[in-house]
Structure 1
């Protein structure tokens, strides 16, 4: 009996029992063949300004790794989900066009010397105009699927703390958040960052943001790890196949291009440079705007499409098992 099972395993008859996943938060064992295995899940940075760019790296891992990647320690997304021809994405042509527009604009930003803060700020302000155009286009095509609208539905099962006055935390934070999103540009001139003042002691800190138990957190991500990740993206950029290959390629290239914003955001978060000059304050405002844009618009519609694909994949997989 054991010899027959061994023969079946060798021929691939019982491939469903084969395991190829390394632990999501640990590197592969030394000497192990991990050429097709997904990379370990990168810990999520604690500063909220860096989290959207971390999520883009996770999405890129799902797209570029031959077998998929982890979004959390409990959620593995196989690359096979992209082979489903029955799934029709909403406004996919517009998504591709806007992703390519952002990638081209980020390509110009990546050519600027990162040590020249004034030049980076000037180019970043130009990129904000592109973001506003893309934001308007996505809202027109996708409606409440992007932006800050309907976000409460994503956390409807989360407990809402109520203080002694009967006011929820969501209600207390609604006005400051809306004020920031609508008036951040008013804090500085259109073509200059002079005269910018922001409070040094903000009442809202990153520690107040709830962390997910299924996502490892870190206060520091090594630079060499991000460099290796970008090399992987470049290497796998032309291997997309299937009915959604144009969409996959467009999103993957945007995830790679957006890492230049991650580099600027890390410089902004440097305690030695924070609020050191009007230029750095302008960089912080622009970078936070970019982080919110990629978090509320790009990540939202991409993760929405991944959710749709996963639902179809799980449903079909269940049918195969029952059959």
Structure 2
């Protein structure tokens, strides 16, 4: 879904989100459309992009730079329990970022209810990191700019594909070679962590993005009706 949405934002001809729904590129760049809480959404997107970039770097460190799900990454044969435990620790840090986003912005954006199932030290410690990152990313930016918001979403949806690669790798039959070297209990733990990340993007990010897209589509259709009437 994130790949399809990104296509509507980056292609001049837009793209199909479903078999019946085509979203023109102009939907995202039209003027006069007022979206709610854009500054908060820009902050969320910036923090998630930073966290995913860090996760991408660690994935390359442990698995190599290739595609994890296809088994084409470097490092096959040299991955075992040690790398699995280290990767699990990085996914825990990433989960703390996701929980922190919901804790800090979920109520304002109207998303993520029930997503954070338990409190952890990671969420607490991440609060200070969140503040520092927000200061770094948003300093001097126009946080009310829909263009910055859409550009950030395009970047986020591209970076999020690293999670898709790992989810496919661990759930494929047979399992991808890079995950086959992990003990069963580590694979099971990793699968739970990756599922948690997937649920975050489904229940939090896609919830407010699709809500915004619906508003923008409604605005765009009304403009088209006006043009036809004229």
TM-score by length of 1: 0.52
Give the aligned partner of residue 165 of structure 1: none
Pairing of 1:1-323 with structure 2 (within 5 A) = 55-112=1-58, 113-114=62-63, 116-143=83-110, 146-147=111-112, 244-273=146-175, 277-323=184-230
Deviations 1:265-302 (A, max 9, x none): 01220344489522111111111111110001100111
Rounded Cα–Cα distance in structure 1 between residues aligned with 2:29 and 2:148: 12
Q: CA RMSD in A?
A: 2.5
Deviations 1:87-128 (A, max 9, x none): 111111111111110111111111122354333211111000
Q: Is the 1:58–1:70 contact (alpha carbons within 8 Å) kept by the matching residues of 2?
A: yes
Q: Is the 2:99–2:116 contact (alpha carbons within 8 Å) kept by the matching residues of 1?
A: no
The ranges of structure 1 where at least 4 consecutive aligned residues each deviate by more than 6 angstroms after the TM superposition are: none
Rounded Cα–Cα distance in structure 2 between residues aligned with 1:263 and 1:101: 21
Deviations 1:67-95 (A, max 9, x none): 21110111000011123221111111111
Q: Is the 2:102–2:116 contact (alpha carbons within 8 Å) kept by the matching residues of 1?
A: no
Q: Is the 1:109–1:120 contact (alpha carbons within 8 Å) kept by the matching residues of 2?
A: no
Q: Is the 1:124–1:286 contact (alpha carbons within 8 Å) kept by the matching residues of 2?
A: yes
2:15 aligns to what SS in structure 1? Answer: strand
How far residue 138 of structure 1 moved from its aligned partner, in angstroms, is 2.8
Unaligned 5+ residue runs, structure 1?
1-54, 149-177, 192-242
Q: 1:89 to 1:182 in 2, by over 3 A?
A: closer
Rounded Cα–Cα distance in structure 2 between residues aligned with 1:130 and 1:246: 22
Q: Is the 1:125–1:286 contact (alpha carbons within 8 Å) kept by the matching residues of 2?
A: yes
Q: 1:190 to 1:134 in 2, by over 3 A?
A: closer
Rounded Cα–Cα distance in structure 2 between residues aligned with 1:82 and 1:313: 9
Rounded Cα–Cα distance in structure 2 between residues aligned with 1:85 and 1:321: 18
